[in-house]
Amino acid sequence: MPTDRRSDSPADDRIPAETVVESIRAAPMPVVNTRYLAEEHDVPTDEMVERLEAMVDAGMLESHEIEGLARLWWLSLESDLAE
């Protein structure tokens, strides 16, 4: 699914991918929701979603939307193996 997001968005600068990956690795569960990560990084949820979607596009994360409830995020196998 094509997107019109730019990979050089302000969220990319403000929220480094490495810190998001570390937050997910340190989370109590291997799957986290958007609110959890936004609170961890002290950023608005919309900004975190933008960053997380860019990371999905880059193959670092995977996600699943629970219709009408939440979106879940986890490390892709590629990111997990890089550890």
Instruction: Examine the pLDDT at 2 and tell me if it is beyond 50.
Output: no
Query: What is the rounded CA–CA span in Å between residue 15 and residue 65?
Result: 22
- pTM, entire model: 0.79
Instruction: Examine the pLDDT at 30 and tell me if it is beyond 70.
Output: yes
- Total domain count, the chain: 1
Instruction: Examine the pLDDT at 38 and tell me if it is beyond 70.
Output: yes
Q: Is 34 a member of any domain?
A: yes
Domain harbouring 22, CATH code: 1.10.10.10
User: Where do runs of H (alpha helix) occur along 1-83?
Assistant: 10-14, 17-26, 34-41, 45-57, 77-82
Q: Is 3 a member of any domain?
A: no
Q: Is 4 a member of any domain?
A: no
Q: Is 67 a member of any domain?
A: yes
| Residue 14: predicted pLDDT | 81
| Greater pLDDT, 22 or 77 | 22
Residue 19: give the domain boundaries.
Answer: 10-82
